[in-house]
Amino acid sequence: MQRPENHHPQLNLLLVLLILLSACGGQVDSPEATASSLESKEKVSADPAVIIRERFQEIDGWLKQADLSMDSMEYDCPDDPTGGRISFFRKAGELVMIKHDYYQGDHFGATESYYLIDEKPVFIHLTEESWTFAGPEGSDPTVPNTQDNISEFRFYLNSGQEPLNCLRKDYVLRSWIELPTNPNEVPNKTIECGDKVTTSMEHFGFLINGMSPFSGC
């Protein structure tokens, strides 16, 4: 018996498509919805705050896992009680972080940590610490009590190296207190982005070239 001819190929194709859509839940995003979703994702990925946070978490994770190569150099200033160490951290050859520890005299020290994208800082964490003898006399008079005054600064930068946001927290650590202040519990305060971030950026210009930021060193 001869097979009847199919006079409606377009109708058959439509039926096949309907069956496939039904099997997939019957929902297809419109071009407008798809474009809106993509645009939303692009906006999130382009948000400087998101980029900085993700980069910080990425580098911090590498540090905790000891997954970065590191080399460092030390310097001393012959005519000034200043010296320090510059450390370079790399991932697969890419420079991702510079850390600068330095002291000025016996009672002041600081650490500048630069988190980089394309060898440009997007986040700077600056910690300054000064200390004095203070407090009651301890059980051992040869070991006096001390007080550390600490200030932490956080600078968030855009791709043009301009500050987006600047934060500060201050706290005191006293050696005679059994339960010292937990720095993580001290809130940050928003401050004007002024001389501190400018100085840190000036330092970075020297540090990335393996040079001390202080003249005569």
CB 131 within 8 A of CB 154: no
**Mean pLDDT lowest for which of 28-37, 71-80, 91-100?**
28-37
Q: What is the pLDDT of residue 139?
A: 66
Q: What is the pLDDT of residue 24?
A: 46
Say whether pLDDT at 71 is over 70. Answer: yes
Smallest Cα–Cα separation from 78: which of 216, 175, 186?
216
Mean pLDDT over residues 21-30, rounded? 46
pLDDT greater at residue 46 or residue 104: 104
The rounded distance, in Å, linking the Cα atoms of 11 and 18 is: 11
Strands lying side by side in the sheet with 163-174: 69-76, 82-91, 94-104, 108-117, 120-133, 146-157, 163-174, 189-190
Mean pLDDT over residues 36-48, rounded? 52
Percent above pLDDT 90 for the chain: 65
| Residue where the block lists tokens 């510079």 | 98
pLDDT digits (tens, 9 = 90+) for 178-205: 888 899 999 999 999 999 999 999 999 9
pLDDT digits (tens, 9 = 90+) for 104-148: 999 999 999 999 999 999 999 999 999 999 888 776 777 889 999
Burial 86-120 (b: 16+ CB within 10 A, else e): bbbbeeeeeebbbbbbbebeeeebbbbbbbbbeee
Q: What is the pLDDT of residue 140?
A: 75
Q: What is the pLDDT of residue 187?
A: 97
pLDDT confidence tier of residue 36, bands split at 50, 70 and 90: very low
Compute and round to an integer the Cα radius of gyration of the chain: 29
Mean pLDDT over residues 32-61, rounded? 70
The rounded distance, in Å, linking the Cα atoms of 66 and 187 is: 29
Q: What is the dihedral of CA 94, 95, 97, 103, to 10 degrees?
A: 150
The rounded distance, in Å, linking the Cα atoms of 54 and 42 is: 15
* Helices 48-64 and 31-46, packing angle to 10 deg: 60
For 200, residues 6+ apart whose C-beta sits below 8 A from its C-beta are 112, 114, 124, 126, 153, 155
pLDDT greater at residue 154 or residue 46: 154
Q: What is the pLDDT of residue 45?
A: 52
Mean pLDDT over residues 52-61, rounded? 97
Percent above pLDDT 70 for the chain: 78
pLDDT greater at residue 19 or residue 119: 119
pLDDT confidence tier of residue 35, bands split at 50, 70 and 90: very low
